[in-house]
Amino acid sequence: MAFKNFIDGQWLDSESGKTFENRNPARQGDLIGRFPASGPKDVDRAMAAAKKAFATWRLVPAPKRGEILYRAGELLKKYKEELARIETREMGKVLKETRGDVQEGIDCAFLNGGEGRRLFGETTPAELPNKFAMSVRGPVGVCALITPWNFPLAIPTWKLFPAILCGNTVILKPAEDTPQTAARFVEILSEAGVPPGVVNLVHGRGEEAGAALVRHPDVQLVSFTGSAAVGREIASWCGQNLKRVSLELGGKNAQIIMEDADLELAIEGALWGAFGTTGQRCTATSRLIVHRDVASKVTDALVARAEKIRIGEGLDESVEMGPLINQAARDKVARYVDIGKQEGARLLTGGAIYNEGACADGYFFQATIFDQVKPNMRIAQEEIFGPVLSVIEIASFEEAIAALNNTKYGLSSSIYTSDVTRAFRAMRDIEAGITYINGPTIGAEVHLPFGGVKDTGNGHREAGTTVYDIFTEWKAIYVDYSGKLQKAQIDNN
């Protein structure tokens, strides 16, 4: 099946006529479709549509824009199962997870729809008599949204819904591994009543379509989720050209298990955090920091359960872990397993490609656990983005916090303990944008800020209400009704 770009309300081929294939990572013989391999001319066309639409869209009252998002949320509910199956087929994670991905998009639609009747500014007393002061939010302009493949519906909604609610227009460039989800999403937005040109979809590879979009002179804002290396390139260009940029980048998240923890609960959390989405989450549990008094009990239980995880195509409801996204991802995981062995970590289970039966034609890898991992080993420092868990043994709470913070990333974190004092100290001392107490490192909710510190991003937060600080410009307004010239600080000293 041939898919197209969506520009100014029309489905269009790329200017070059070139395409790329999208295949099921669980069954490479399953061709999902061919998509436009877009380039600068396609981005120019989308930009012209977005700029034209911005002139009128920014004047639509925010509550009316919010009503369109409510309709989009209802349509996402209607098409939830269809969308989940599209996602699973093109990126691999199991259906219960892709249903959750769509639900996150639904939640995001309703959250942002409600904010259409808020979008609060501030009023404040003026320092002179007969004068009024306030600040209000306004749209930024045309926004470039570049989204990853691991949450192919949820992350676009995190960016797109607040962007258009605030009166911006957008050009969405989805990951080339998950273009069909984006295409269906844009169809749904059109059905919900989003006017032509407000949302434009340009498919293509990052080095071609993505680069052309980021570097387009008329893009006012870039919102990117992906690797730290690419994020640095985008930040550098935007900085040189004074473009607003929001980056959500990598993670090397850790879960702490103290000796007083509910071990059964902590083990369940570690398994879900490490092997949910085949470890392909920016919030995945990559490191497990365990008190030495319970380390052997924890690792024995983890190994026993990890070896029972059923691996296969996510469309099978009995499967618990699907494939990696592509060949390069699987090769990367295999390389890090070799690195872990070379560094002296002990491989407890997994560590190999899984190609039994129907899995022979996909990018599957076993659930893998290392112990005897030291905090400075590469497998404890570098983002693997696969089903690999590194167990680090510690002797105290203070050592656990130090080990958790010993990374260049700071996205998500977790501690299991029954000691309320430790819990509150962890909330204070952990260097991360997200901290869970007695829960895994995954499971963010859309009405709270999402993002991290250090190399995880550039300080912005998606989701919640903090996202509006990305997609709006502040304007200060003064109304002087004194009938005479007042000179602010000059008259007020």
Residues assigned a catalytic role: 248, 282
Question: What's the CA angle centered on 212, arms 206 and 216, to 5 degrees?
Answer: 140
Nearest-CA neighbor of 418 among 396, 397, 438, 398?
Answer: 438
**Residue pair 184/174 in contact by the 8 Å Cβ criterion:** no
Distant-in-sequence, close-in-space partners of 187: CB < 8 Å, separation ≥ 6: 6
* Distance (Å, whole) CA 415 – CA 436: 7
| C-alpha–C-alpha distance, residues 322 and 253, integer Å | 21
| Helix (H/G/I), strand (E/B), else coil: 157 | helix
Q: Scanning the structure block, which residue is given the tokens 């924890």?
A: 298
Q: Give the tokens for residue 133.
A: 């002061």
Output DSSP code: residue 314: T
Which residues pair with residue 457 across a beta bridge? 248
Name residues whose C-beta falls within 8 Å of residue 423's C-beta, 6 or more positions apart in sequence. 415, 417, 437, 438
Exposed, middle or buried, 143 (CB in 10 Å: 0-12/13-18/19+)? buried
What's the rounded Cα separation, in Å, for the pair 111 and 69? 9
**Which value, in Å, is the radius of gyration of the alpha carbons in the chain?**
24
List, in order, residues 6 or more apart from 395 with CB less than 8 Å away.
291, 292
Asked if residues 246 and 221 have their Cβ atoms less than 8 Å apart, the reply is yes
The token duo for 432 is 């991360």
Query: Residue 446 — φ and ψ, nearest 5°?
Result: -70, -15
d(C-alpha 244, C-alpha 264), whole Å: 45
Pair type for strands 453-454 and 409-410: antiparallel
